[in-house]
Amino acid sequence: MDIVANTLLAAGASPAMIHSLAEIPDFTPQAQALCVNVGTLSPSWVPAMKSAAELMVKLGKPWVLDPVAAGASGFRLNACLALVGVKPTVIRGNGSEIIALSRASLVKGVDSAHGSMDALEAAKSLARASGSIVAVSGAVDVVTDGNRVVAAHNGVPMMQKITATGCAVTALIAAFVALDPSHPLEATASALSVFCIAGELGMDLAKGPASLRMHLIDSLYGLDEAALLSRVRITDL
């Protein structure tokens, strides 16, 4: 929650970290986008997640799902599949998570055992079945609506050594989709690129994962259009 909220603040968004079902009716209508992250899931949180997602759909606003470790337990997998049924605008996971959701079967823990390209067909079929944009993070980030596929090539491997960089980029995707809700594929690829370029700039100053975490957030905060345009690499696949 720390890196997620601070990533959003650095990018100019305004986060609120909410768990309680009691707050959903008052809080959710104030949000321009919702990010549901099942990272530290417990049973009592699931009804709040579903209720917030359903309310966003009713309000015609975007919501984004991070299916953390979807394939690690039956409880998580079923909770994530139920959330996919509430029509996320975007689903962003690592390769193993997207394969687990697509096959509706148990796969792995929080870190990915699959590269993003290994999950390309799973991502396409999940996108077609769910109607969501599906993004798979990794060395190359892949984003698909089930037909079109784009690849975002920025980032550094050390980002995998900071926990919840994936969670943070999912939240950033929600912020970008809030700004351009009619182009969720483009907004998703842009958010992944911006976050990864901040990682590249941060890596120039970092000594290891802990200082990269700090410099990534500083670089995101200071990112300007010239640096972005000189580094961004998004291609069609």
Ligand X SMILES: Nc1ncnc2c1ncn2[C@@H]1O[C@H](COP(=O)(O)OP(=O)(O)OP(=O)(O)O)[C@@H](O)[C@H]1O
d(CA 92, CA 175): 13
Query: Which of 35, 68, 135, 177 is in the footprint of ligand TZE by CB under 6 A?
Result: 68
Please tell me whether residue 167 binds ligand TZE under the rule CB under 6 A. Answer: yes
What is the Cα–Cα distance from 224 to 75, expressed in whole angstroms?
A: 42
Is the Cβ of residue 28 or residue 154 nearer to ligand X in the bound state? Answer: 154
Using CB under 6 A as the binding rule, whether residue 181 contacts ligand TZE is answered as: no
Sheet strands side by side (includes 149-152): 34-37, 63-66, 90-94, 133-137, 141-144, 149-152, 234-236
53 binds, among ligand X, Mg ion, ligand TZE, none (CB under 5 to 8 A by kind): none
Is 166 a binding residue for Mg ion by CB under 5 A? The answer is yes
Residues engaged in binding ligand X (CB under 6 A): 68, 94, 110-112, 137-139, 141, 155-157, 159-160, 163-167, 169, 192, 195-196
Within 10 angstroms of residue 184's Cβ, the number of other Cβ atoms is 22
Which residue(s) pair with 142 in the sheet?
A: 136, 151
**Interface with ligand TZE (CB under 6 A), residue from 5, 72, 110, 179:** 110
Q: Residues 53-92: x/- map of binding to Mg ion (CB under 5 A)?
A: ---------------x------------------------
179 lies in the binding site for ligand TZE (CB under 6 A): no
CA atoms within 13 A on the CB side of 179: 14
| Rounded Cα gap, residues 150 and 48, in angstroms | 33
Do 96 and 166 form a contact (C-beta atoms < 8 A)?
no
Q: Could you tell me which stretch among 145-153, 159-167, 179-187, 201-209 binds Mg ion (CB under 5 A)?
A: 159-167
Q: What does the binding site for Mg ion look like in residue numbers (CB under 5 A)?
A: 68, 166
